[in-house]
Structure 1
Amino acid sequence: MVKCLLMITAELENLTNLEPQGGCDDPNFSYFFKLRCGTCGEVSQKETCVTLGETVALPVGKGTTNLIQKCKFCGRDGTITMIPGRGKPLTQEVSQSGKHTPLMLFDCRGYEPVEYVFGSGWKAESIEGTKFHEIDLSVGEYAEYDEKGECPVMISNLRSTFDVVK
């Protein structure tokens, strides 16, 4: 059992509080990443989608998980269970310091997440207080103009990492 904390950062220009549309524990926000099999080391060719609001029953015992997937190379099953409550919005201060902020914790059994893919469904607010919704980061950046604050806003240089935590 390995717990992997998804950490993100980006360059925020005149923006702060970047997070999923419904907050860091949004049950409808989809996380896309590739998986590495813990048995054979094979990395999935396609991204896997995991959502906090979607669960499946474990094949053995009681309980649920967010994903059960079989490795196409060795045939072993693995699970990913999301653990809410650890995520925080990416603030302008954290962004400027070059540090990452936690987004979601994953309990991984038989798999390790790699290569997180940014997509749609984000929100942020300008330093003047204007709220921006349904931000799509799938192209790697976002640019808009804050008419209230009379300044350009931008998200660029998106980066992510999975940190192993106890």
Structure 2
Amino acid sequence: RRLDLQLCSPRHAATMPKIELQIKASLENVSELAPIPGRLWHIKTKCESCGEVSESFNTITTTETVELEGSRGTAHLDIKCKMCERHGHITIEDEALPPVSESGAWAAVAVLDCRGVAPDSFQFMNQWRAKAAGDGGGAFDDVDLTEGEWADYDEASDASVSIMDLESRFESVAAAGKGKHRKRK
């Protein structure tokens, strides 16, 4: 189903859908997996006007904003479609969500406000944090998921730890007030 984000009027902006980036992974002796705040997100985008998908991954971070041409607003990414030359932008609304804690279950790691573009695919890359399971489990501060998996040894709990079978997806959610999101029906 196509989201026509450009056609909504400003008075409907509060009810515009947001897009959650959700991930799923097999966690072995890992109790928490979370993105490092302010990390670089690597996302391919699809133009909502013509359907063109970006050739390369766009890098987005909450630590940098750009002013939107012809507007008083800002975004974390402003992109011009190479095919139809329309502008779209993405703002990262939230990246301080609860950590992924259940192996094999989908969990949101970021919420995006997308106008004129939709996220198409995601690259995990580095800048993740993991916490080993069990009392006194160690913390791993720069987990690199570029290869689609990660493994290490936690000396504090005397156990191997791993993150495998990584998957990602984008899901529409409707805003239910600042910082609260519910799934659209």
Q: TM-score, normalised by structure 1?
A: 0.90
1:10-29 counterparts in 2 under 5 A? 10-21=25-36, 26-27=37-38, 29=39
Deviations 1:12-38 (A, max 9, x none): 0000210123xxxx12x0110110110
Displacement of 1:4 in angstroms is 0.8
Residue of structure 2 in register with 1:122 after alignment:
128
Q: Which runs of 5+ in 1 are unaligned?
A: none
SS in 2 for 1:104: strand
1:162 matched to 2:170? The reply is: yes
Deviations 1:117-163 (A, max 9, x none): 00111111111321111110001110111122111110000111100
Deviations 1:86-107 (A, max 9, x none): 622000xx22xx3211111111
1:77 matched to 2:78? The reply is: no
When the two chains are superposed, the root-mean-square deviation of aligned CA atoms in Å is 1.3
* Separation of aligned partners in 2, 1:112 and 1:140: 23
Q: Which runs of 5+ in 2 are unaligned?
A: 6-16, 175-185
Greater relative contact order: 1 or 2 (C-alpha under 8 angstroms, separation 6 or more)?
Answer: 1
Residue of structure 2 in register with 1:143 after alignment:
151
* Separation of aligned partners in 2, 1:85 and 1:100: 16
Q: 1:63 to 1:137 in 2, by over 3 A?
A: same
Displacement of 1:164 in angstroms is 0.8
Matched length: 157
Q: State whether residues 34 and 100 of structure 2, in contact with CA within 8 Å, keep that contact through their aligned partners in structure 1.
A: yes
* Separation of aligned partners in 2, 1:53 and 1:6: 18
Q: 1:132 to 1:86 in 2, by over 3 A?
A: closer
Query: Which of 52, 74, 80 is the matching residue for 1:42?
Result: 52
Residue type of the alignment partner of 2:65: T
Displacement of 1:85 in angstroms is 5.9
Structure 1: 4+ residue segments shifted above 3 A? none
* Separation of aligned partners in 2, 1:111 and 1:82: 13
Residue of structure 2 in register with 1:131 after alignment:
139
* Separation of aligned partners in 2, 1:111 and 1:53: 21
Q: State whether residues 25 and 105 of structure 2, in contact with CA within 8 Å, keep that contact through their aligned partners in structure 1.
A: no
Percent of paired sites with the same residue? 38
